[in-house]
Amino acid sequence: MLFPEPLHVGCPNMGSENEFQLLVTGLFDTKWLSNSGRFVQQLEHQIADYLGVRHCVSICNGTVALEIAIRALGLTGEVIVPSYTFIATAHALNWQGVKPVFADINEKTHNIDPESVRSLINPKTSGIIGVHIWGEPSPIRELEEIASENGLKLLFDAGHAFGNTYKGRMIGGFGEAEVLSFHATKFFNTFEGGAVVTNDDELAERVKLMRNFGFNGLDRVVSPGTNGKMTEVCAAMGLVNFDSLDSFVSRNKSNYVAYDEVFSSCKMLNLLEFDTQEERNYQYIVVELNPQAVRHRDRLIDDLHSENVRARKYFWPGCHMMEPYQSLFPDAYRHLPNTSKVAERVIVLPTGTSVESSDCRRIGEFMISRLMSYGI
């Protein structure tokens, strides 16, 4: 077996255990565990400053953050979203009674295709959700133009893109708002958590109301809402991990370089490239199989799993092929050719602080040897 213990995609990055324990000990003194305590407020300020935005509203998780942002923006009817994304992006719309309309992607970048978006706009369309897939920015400028021309709201799912830049500017301040995920599998985690970040003062106030049942004061409810608050212990984890961001990026980047060195001479595998002129968190190692090797994708993943390498085939088969969307929109696949092709050829490999560069080289060499053994 290649590794005695499993190496997972998205194994948590964790900062100083001692610093975390010190913060948690303080909670026993203050006895303030939720409802926007000092750790939550501190984390929100740090993130807002780091991203260069006016407001960071922490939420209990990224999916609820999406749901609250959708409601706060008043999205109704239909909203255009890529099918090539984690199912939560579509579910957040469906859960709020909004119909997700699936757009195709750019085959090279895996991000939403602006021309596909344009073709789907109709009188029922109220907005667009762009997803910064793998942390690479959506075609932000093009989506902004489309939204402006058609009077649509523009929201970004930035769950993969914390710490990344677009044209030198931190992702977080584009569109009406951007939604972050701090789930345990993300580059930066708070155990479980998320946030809505925005430069819109009024929108930020609506989000704050909605995450706390609509309360505006002790006994005054002024709007519908839910319980979307982040706990203090989650915020404490965020504060500790925030101090280790640079080391997380450094490990991710060195792992990316190690994979790249192995795959660079292999024509059967292509490592998805990142824009080196921009800041990147290198959170995902995304490999595409060439047309001759793609039919062996699932076999290769099974072989990796047998060696304790828990590779994944994100985001197969696309949201449009999952329920309830496959039943609701059985013909959606007809205008999603690139989504289908990309979903069939991608493998995502382990990285993060639990993975060494030497591990990456071993994984890469194993993949190449297995493909050769298949007689490709």
For residue range 288-344, list pLDDT tens digits in order: 999 999 999 999 999 999 999 999 999 999 999 999 999 999 999 999 999 999 999
Contact between residue 206 and residue 165 where contact means Cβ atoms under 8 Å apart: no
| Bridge partners (DSSP) listed for residue 270 | 288
Write down the pLDDT at residue 3.
95
Report in angstroms the alpha-carbon separations of 243 from 46, 159, 189: 10, 19, 12
Task: Tell me, yes or no, whether 70 lies in a domain.
Answer: yes
The pair of structure tokens assigned to 63 is: 């999916």
**CA nearest to 376, candidates 287, 312, 311, 292:** 292
Low-confidence ranges of the chain (pLDDT < 70): none
Residue type, 305: H
Write down the pLDDT at residue 375.
85
State the Cα–Cα distance between residues 89 and 96, nearest whole angstrom: 12
- Phi, psi angles (nearest 5°) of residue 155: -120, 145
Same domain as 267, residue 157: no
Same domain as 143, residue 275: no
The pair of structure tokens assigned to 339 is: 């989504």
State the Cα–Cα distance between residues 97 and 254, nearest whole angstrom: 43
Contact between residue 281 and residue 249 where contact means Cβ atoms under 8 Å apart: yes
Same domain as 282, residue 169: no
Of the three residues 189, 215, 242, the one that is the final residue of a domain is 242
Same domain as 164, residue 252: no
Number of domains in the chain: 2
Same domain as 125, residue 91: yes
Write down the pLDDT at residue 269.
95
Write down the pLDDT at residue 31.
93
Strand-strand pairing, 169-170 and 165-166: antiparallel
**CA nearest to 22, candidates 37, 43, 1, 39:** 39
Measured at the CA of 23, the angle between CA 17 and CA 28, to 5 degrees, comes to 125
- Phi, psi angles (nearest 5°) of residue 275: -75, 105
Same domain as 248, residue 209: no
State the Cα–Cα distance between residues 103 and 118, nearest whole angstrom: 9
Same domain as 126, residue 179: yes
Task: Tell me, yes or no, whether 8 lies in a domain.
Answer: no
CATH of the domain at 98: 3.40.640.10
State the Cα–Cα distance between residues 150 and 127, nearest whole angstrom: 9
| Bridge partners (DSSP) listed for residue 185 | none
Q: For tokens 């997972």, what's the residue? A: 8
Task: Tell me, yes or no, whether 328 lies in a domain.
Answer: yes
Same domain as 226, residue 80: yes
Same domain as 206, residue 166: yes
State the Cα–Cα distance between residues 367 and 376, nearest whole angstrom: 13
- Phi, psi angles (nearest 5°) of residue 156: -120, 135
Same domain as 68, residue 174: yes
Task: Tell me, yes or no, whether 213 lies in a domain.
Answer: yes
Write down the pLDDT at residue 186.
97
Of the three residues 188, 220, 242, the one that is the final residue of a domain is 242
DSSP structural state of residue 266: -
> How many Å separate Cα 248 from the centre of its chain?
16
Task: Tell me, yes or no, whether 173 lies in a domain.
Answer: yes
- How many residues does the structure list for the chain? 376
DSSP structural state of residue 296: G
Same domain as 32, residue 142: yes
Task: Tell me, yes or no, whether 105 lies in a domain.
Answer: yes
Task: Tell me, yes or no, whether 352 lies in a domain.
Answer: yes
CATH of the domain at 307: 3.90.1150.10
State the Cα–Cα distance between residues 284 and 186, nearest whole angstrom: 9
Range of the domain at 307: 244-373
Of the three residues 227, 242, 257, the one that is the final residue of a domain is 242
Task: Tell me, yes or no, whether 5 lies in a domain.
Answer: no
Same domain as 317, residue 229: no
